[in-house]
Amino acid sequence: APPPDSPEWFEDWLSGFGSFIPAPEDIPEQTFIRTTLDLNWKVNPIQILGATGAARLAIDQQELAVAAVEHTTAENTVAAYFSIIRAAENVQAIRAQLANQRELLEITSMRYELGLATRLDTLQAAVTVANLRPQLAVAEARLRNEGSRLNAVMGRRPETPLRIVNEQPVEMDPVNEEVALALAQERPELAATDLFVDILERNRQAQVADLRPYLTLSGTYGYVGRTTDTIFDDGHDSWRATVALNVPIFDGMLTKGLVDETKARIRRTEAELTGQRREVQVEVLEILANLNLARELLAAVQLNLERSEEVLDESLLMMQMGKINYLDVLV
């Protein structure tokens, strides 16, 4: 029936052609089978640049971390290598001292039998020999431990035999303090921390992008039919493509909280980096001071060695002249 107050032309049309339009209750129920492929793409250039930049910096950071581990491993290896040399020389020195004291004990015992030495002199020589034996055992154990540590650093079994070449070139060239401090600031672990600050900045950029306008692209393509064998018939396909500009207005202050948190992490990391740089400066200054002190000590030891050799030569000459005995030379 025509709606109330409808115009006459509509009533005429309805009476002439309305019979072709079935009533809703006269339309039988129909089931359609639909298959579609939906594609959605969110285009946010700021977020994409921030994410890809952070990923690239993270790769560089990992390479620096690997370099830092390599430097640490090399440092530990060199330290273990020279620790073995130092331990071996300590063993040789104690063995030489023990042989010297044994010979001194034999001479003192002979002099005691001849009445030329007291029982106290013999006792002192015997006590010295007895004290050197545990020192030699401790030094030999330390040498074995240093060898095990070097094997472990090199990735070998601790009990694997080692043959160490005792070559210790001493560099006496001066080291410029300013150059050393500048090079120390380029250490891989410091560069990795610096890159981490840049990564946090990129993350902050990506987080801020959530409140910036962005585009979304979507597309749909599919087929529809009443039966499975008619779904892909000609004329049963359909498609739709849309482009939308999204303008975020309010997200419950979530993005602002995330951005503030990232800013706090950036400030904390920068403070930690400043502390690390200062610690490196202190370490370099300490190493330079120890280097200068070691060179002065080396010069003093070389001078003492020369004087001791002169005294030994004089003692041997005086013994040949009969002015002193062999015991004095031995001492």
Helix, strand or coil, per DSSP, at residue 214: strand
The dihedrals phi and psi of 198, each to the nearest 5 degrees, come to -65, -35
What is the pTM for the complete model shown?
0.66
| 198-229 pLDDT tens trace | 999 999 988 888 888 889 999 999 999 888 88
Answer for the pair 84, 150: CB distance below 8 angstroms, yes or no.
Answer: yes
Query: Are 291 and 176 spatial neighbours (Cβ–Cβ below 8 Å)?
Result: no
Sign of CA dihedral 62, 66, 68, 72: positive
pLDDT at 16: 65
- 240 closest CA partner among 224, 258, 226, 259: 224
pLDDT tens-place string over residues 286-322: 999 999 999 999 999 999 999 999 999 999 999 989 8
- The whole-number pLDDT of residue 235 equals 85
According to DSSP, the β-strands at 214-225 and 237-246 are: antiparallel
Q: Where are the alpha helices (DSSP H) in the chain?
A: 8-17, 45-113, 119-153, 177-184, 188-208, 254-320, 326-330
Residue 92 burial class via C-beta count within 10 angstroms: exposed 0-12, middle 13-18, buried 19 and up: exposed
Using an 8 Å Cβ cutoff, are 248 and 211 in contact? yes
Top pLDDT among 107 and 91 is at 91
H/E segment holding residue 290: helix 254-320
- pLDDT value of position 50: 87
8 forms beta bridges with none
Q: Which amino acid is at 99?
A: A
